[in-house]
Structures are given as C-alpha cells and as structure tokens.
Amino acid sequence: MIRKMLGEVAMMPVNGLEPEPVLGSVSFAEGAETASCAGTGDAGRRGGFRLRRWHVVCALVIVAALVLGLCWRYLPDVYAWLSNPDAVHAYVEQHAALSRLAIIGVNTLQIVLAFLPGEPIELASGYAFGFWEGTAACLVASAAGSSLVYWAVRRWGWKVMGLFFTREQFERFSWLKDARKLEFIMLVIFLIPGTPKDFLTYFAGLTRMRFGAVLAIATVGRIPSIVTSTVAASAFGAGEYGVMVVSMVIAVLLAGLGAIAYRSLEAKARR
C-alpha cells in the first residue's frame, strides 16, 4: 500500500530566485540547498551558512553557560519550591496571565529551536496547570511555533534551515520526497512517538504542503506525546503516583512500538 502512495514532490521556490527544482535524481538535501542558492553556484554562500550556524551555536553555548551559572546559584531554592505542588499552583493562580503566557512562549521557542527537547516543557505544563489546561497550552504553542517555522522556511528557505540542520539530516528523510500522499504520511509520522516532529515542521516548509494541512498535522500529530506527558506530570502534582507510573509505562511502550512502525514505514517507502 505504501508503495502505491509514492510519487513526486517538488521543492518550493525560495524568494522567487529560480523555477523550483524537481527532485528526481537529485537528493532532497541537495534540492533544498539548490532551492535557496539557485543561480549563484557560490561556495562562499554555503560557507556563510556554516558561519551563521556557528554564530547560533556560540550564542546558545553562552546562554547555556549563563543558565548553568544561575542554576548553580539558585537551583536548591528552585528545587525546593518546585517540590511543593501547592506552592507552584498558588504561584500560577497568583500570576494567572503571566504564567500562561510564559509557558506558551517557552514552548513556542522550543519548537522554533528544533534541537531542544519538548518533553520537559510538556511535563512542566501538566505539573503547573493540570492535564486539561496544560495540554491546551501545549497545543496553542504548537500551532504558534509551527506557523512561525513554516512561513520562515517559505520566506528564507535554506538560510533558516542551515542554522539548525545539516544535509545529512535531510538525507535521512529523502525518501519522503517521492510520497504522493505526503500529507497522510506526515500525519502518520507525527502520530508516532519519538519521531523528530520539530524537524519535520521545517521539512514541510520546503514541500508543496499547504499551510492549513501543515498546521493541522503539526498540532494534531503532537497530541499523543503531549497527553502522555501532561497526564504523568499532573498526576505527580496531585499525588496520584499510580496514574503517573501507568502513563509513563504507556509512553515508553508507545515510543517503542512507534520506533518499530516508523522503521517499517521507511523501509517500505524506500523499496
């Protein structure tokens, strides 16, 4: 069935520089870079991508060092505060609007900075706001972050992609370039726990996928991962440790089964 779904998906043109290249014998990563650098053939342009990526890495290292320094100074007090669910909930209620804007903002930033893991923020949402509100906050952030990523990639192409990803990472998903039912396959991959959903959001911006479809897939497809995290965290905050353990076991099982399903899907599509 998967084999019948294979076709061709061309890269979107970037900044109207050149007619969009059709990805046939060219690898997806080469097509992505060509779409952004079409007409230049300048090796220095690619060097500029690497330089900007290093600038981003250096900036993140500096930020990480500052965060570690602050953690070293304040972590004991913060940990003691976080260990008291009543204190956390009281603070959230005292700063209702600010706390909710903060968790949505941090979660949105995590999606844009795709190399950062999203699970800790999902757990924090469930712990601080409970299952329903924590899940809603994560879904709002998913919609906001996915929209920013999609339109940024459509506008600047590899200038944005090259800041966070290498050509080797694109090669891992080159098999998707021939998927005729790309939207359906992307949804299936998003629903599988453990797949790099934030990377795939960037990936979608380089395809013919419509914004509405990408937004729906990126939001709905994250629900299984978000729900398992917020259920576990909210149960922990409420002292329902049995529910927490069960939800964690389910999350691990889903991740294992998802990894097997993803490898099987990829293998069938490559044949």
**DSSP symbol at 113:** S
Q: Which of 1-10, 128-137, 174-183, 229-238 has the lowest mean pLDDT?
A: 1-10
Does residue 26 register a pLDDT over 70? no
Q: Look at residue 12 in the predicted model and tell me its pLDDT.
A: 41
Mean pLDDT of 16-34: 39
Q: Look at residue 37 in the predicted model and tell me its pLDDT.
A: 46
The b-or-e profile of 25-64 (16+ CB within 10 A means b, else e) is ebebbbbbbbbbbbeeeeeeebeebeeeeeeeeeeeeeee
Does residue 80 register a pLDDT over 80? no
Q: Look at residue 139 in the predicted model and tell me its pLDDT.
A: 94
Most confident of 35-44, 178-187, 224-233: 224-233
Q: Look at residue 268 in the predicted model and tell me its pLDDT.
A: 67
* Contact criterion met (CB below 8 Å) for 179 and 7: yes
* Contact criterion met (CB below 8 Å) for 216 and 124: no
Angle at 115 between CA 252 and CA 109, to 5 degrees: 105
* Contact criterion met (CB below 8 Å) for 107 and 145: yes
The b-or-e profile of 3-20 (16+ CB within 10 A means b, else e) is eeebeebbbbbbeeeeeb
Give the ranges where 38-118 is alpha helix by DSSP (H): 43-82, 85-94, 96-112
Q: Look at residue 77 in the predicted model and tell me its pLDDT.
A: 64
Mean pLDDT of 248-264: 80
Q: How confident is the model at residue 32 (pLDDT cuts 50, 70, 90)?
A: very low
Q: Look at residue 241 in the predicted model and tell me its pLDDT.
A: 86
- Alpha carbon distance, N-terminus to C-terminus of the chain: 12
Between these two residues, 235 and 5, which has the higher pLDDT value? 235
Does residue 135 register a pLDDT over 90? yes
Q: What is the mean pLDDT of the chain?
A: 75
**DSSP symbol at 176:** G
Which element (helix H / strand E) includes 1? none
Q: Look at residue 216 in the predicted model and tell me its pLDDT.
A: 92
Between these two residues, 139 and 267, which has the higher pLDDT value? 139
Does residue 25 register a pLDDT over 50? no
